[in-house]
Amino acid sequence: MPAPDMHRALRPLGALDLDRAAALHGEAFTPLGERGWTRQDMAELLASPGVAGLLIQIDGADVGMAICRVAADESELVTIAVRPAERRRGTGRALLAAVLDHVRAAGARTLFLEVAADNPAARTLYEQVGFRDVGSRPAYFRRGDRPAVDAFVMRLDFG
Ligand SMILES: CC(C)(COP(=O)(O)OP(=O)(O)OC[C@H]1O[C@@H](n2cnc3c(N)ncnc32)[C@H](O)[C@@H]1OP(=O)(O)O)[C@@H](O)C(=O)NCCC(=O)NCCS
């Protein structure tokens, strides 16, 4: 549970945040066996059409980030990450809510995402918010020396 006096703030992920956002992404994803993104990866992605990033801070410290893409009435959650030490305090849910606000305001009526079959934490979060499985991609996520893992494609409609 978050502390009652905790101050959580959300803001757009900007050019000055790229190093910190890349570090946060790596910290969140390398334990899963995925490659963390570099500053350059982030910069290129954020320069693509329809892409926006969000940074979430608690008491002024970066704790999470998300990147989404909107194309006409469809959108995609490209990534979402919360620092391991800060999890289970509602930050992931708050970030996802902010992504939904953003894509809806940008004209989307659907949000898609891909989640690895070996990631029950993320799947539970998405199911709680109302996402449903609409497909799968066999051996989609690489896991270094281990076999690749299937992805579930999930979708949320908000008309
Ligand atoms: C997925 C992730 C963003 C969730 O962030 P978080 O701040 O811990 O999420 P929240 O605290 O808002 O959790 C919301 C709900 O998700 C579910 N959840 C989150 N982590 C969970 C876990 N480890 N096990 C089971 N359920 C979990 C719970 O239902 C939780 O609600 P509750 O705490 O009231 O029970 C975070 O675990 C993360 O960064 N993981 C590594 C990167 C990643 O997997 N990104 C998604 C790729 S598709």
- 69-87 pLDDT, tens digit per residue, is 999 999 999 999 999 999 9
Which residue numbers in the chain have pLDDT < 70?
1-4
Nearest-angstrom CA–CA distance, 148 and 143? 5
Q: Is the distance from the beta carbon of residue 56 to the nearest atom of ligand 1 less than 6 Å?
A: no
Q: Is the distance from the beta carbon of residue 91 to the nearest atom of ligand 1 less than 6 Å?
A: yes
Domains of the chain: which residue ranges?
Answer: 8-157
pLDDT at 95: 97
Q: Which atom of ligand 1 is nearest to the CA of 95?
A: 12
Q: What is the mean pLDDT of the chain?
A: 95
Span 8-157 CATH architecture: 3-Layer(aba) Sandwich (3.40)
What percent of the chain stands above pLDDT 70? 97
Q: Which atom of ligand 1 is nearest to the CA of 82?
A: 39
pLDDT at 6: 79
pLDDT at 3: 65
Q: What's the gap in Å between 139 CA and the centre of ligand 1? A: 23
Q: What is the 3-state secondary structure (H, E, C) of the chain?
A: CCCCCCCEEEEECCHHHHHHHHHHHHHHHHHHCCCCCCHHHHHHHHCCCCEEEEEEEECCEEEEEEEEEEECCEEEEEEEEECHHHCCCCHHHHHHHHHHHHHHHCCCCEEEEEEECCCHHHHHHHHHHCCEEEEEEEEEEEECCEEEEEEEEEEEECC
pLDDT at 94: 97
